[in-house]
C-alpha cells in the first residue's frame, strides 16, 4: 500500500503550480493553476483569458493549448496537433505583450463571455476582445480573439514583413 501511495502523492504535488502575473495595474495577481493533463481550461472565464495571456507571454505552447478551446474542450484534444501548433505560434506573435489589463467583461452570443483587454507591447497599446466559452466539466476556454486589433504587434516584432 505504501508503494502505491507515494507515487500518487508525488503526482499530486507535481500537478499544482503557482504563477504570479503582473497585469499592469500595479500589484501582482497570484493565482493557483493546475498544470496536470487531467484538468484543462480555467475555472472562470476571466481566468481563461489571464492564463492564456500568461502562457503567450511565457511562450508556452503547452499552456496555451490547455486553455485554448471550444465547447468540446481544449483544442489540443480536438485538432490536428501540427495545425494547432501553427495556429498557436501565430497567436503568440500577435498577442505577445509586455503587460495586459482586463478592462471589462460582458455577455456575448451563444454563451460566450467577452473581455476587452488592453495589451501593451513596447510603445504600442491595443485593446482586442477575447471570447471565452464554457466547455466540458464547467471549464472555460478562450475560443477566439480579435487579431486585427493587434496586427501591428507582429509587424513590430519583425516577424511579419511590411505589406503582409
Interval 13-62: pLDDT, tens: 333 333 334 444 544 443 433 344 468 999 999 999 999 999 999 999 99
User: Would you state the pLDDT for residue 154?
Assistant: 85
Packing angle, helices 45-57 and 81-95, rounded to 10: 80
Dump pLDDT digits (tens) for 119-141.
999 999 999 999 999 999 999 99
User: Would you state the pLDDT for residue 70?
Assistant: 97
**The cell 465547447 sits on which residue?**
71
The 3-state DSSP class for residue 60 equals coil
Using CA atoms, how far apart are residues 109 and 1, in angstroms rounded to an integer? Answer: 51
- Provide the grid cell at 89: 505560434
CATH topology assigned to domain 39-157: Nuclear Transport Factor 2; Chain: A, (3.10.450)
pLDDT band of 158, cuts 50, 70, 90 = low
Distances (CA, A) of 80 to 84, 85, 152: 6, 9, 28
pLDDT beyond 90 at 150? yes
Q: What is the pTM of this model?
A: 0.74
- Provide the grid cell at 151: 496586427
What average pLDDT score do residues 63-82 get? 96
- Provide the grid cell at 140: 472555460
Percent of the chain as helix, strand, coil, to the nearest 5: 40, 30, 25
User: Would you state the pLDDT for residue 152?
Assistant: 92
User: Would you state the pLDDT for residue 62?
Assistant: 95
User: Would you state the pLDDT for residue 46?
Assistant: 98
User: Would you state the pLDDT for residue 157?
Assistant: 60
Within 10 angstroms of residue 88's Cβ, the number of other Cβ atoms is 22
Domain ranges of the chain: 39-157
Amino acid at each position: 500500500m505504501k508503494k502505491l501511495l507515494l507515487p500518487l502523492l508525488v503526482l499530486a504535488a507535481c500537478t499544482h503550480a503557482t504563477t504570479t502575473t503582473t497585469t499592469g495595474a500595479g500589484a501582482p495577481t497570484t493565482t493557483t493553476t493546475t498544470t496536470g493533463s487531467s484538468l484543462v481550461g480555467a475555472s472562470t472565464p476571466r481566468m481563461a483569458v489571464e492564463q492564456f495571456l500568461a502562457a503567450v507571454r511565457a511562450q508556452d505552447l503547452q499552456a496555451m493549448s490547455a486553455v485554448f478551446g471550444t465547447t468540446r474542450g481544449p483544442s489540443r484534444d480536438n485538432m490536428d496537433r501540427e495545425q494547432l501548433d501553427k495556429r498557436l505560434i501565430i497567436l503568440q506573435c500577435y498577442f505577445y505583450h509586455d503587460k495586459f489589463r482586463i478592462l471589462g467583461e460582458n455577455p456575448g452570443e451563444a454563451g460566450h463571455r467577452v473581455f476587452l483587454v488592453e495589451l501593451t507591447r513596447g510603445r504600442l497599446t491595443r485593446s482586442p476582445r477575447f471570447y471565452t466559452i464554457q466547455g466540458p466539466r464547467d471549464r472555460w476556454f478562450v475560443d477566439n480573439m480579435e487579431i486585427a486589433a493587434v496586427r501591428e504587434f507582429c509587424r513590430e516584432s519583425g516577424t511579419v514583413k511590411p505589406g503582409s
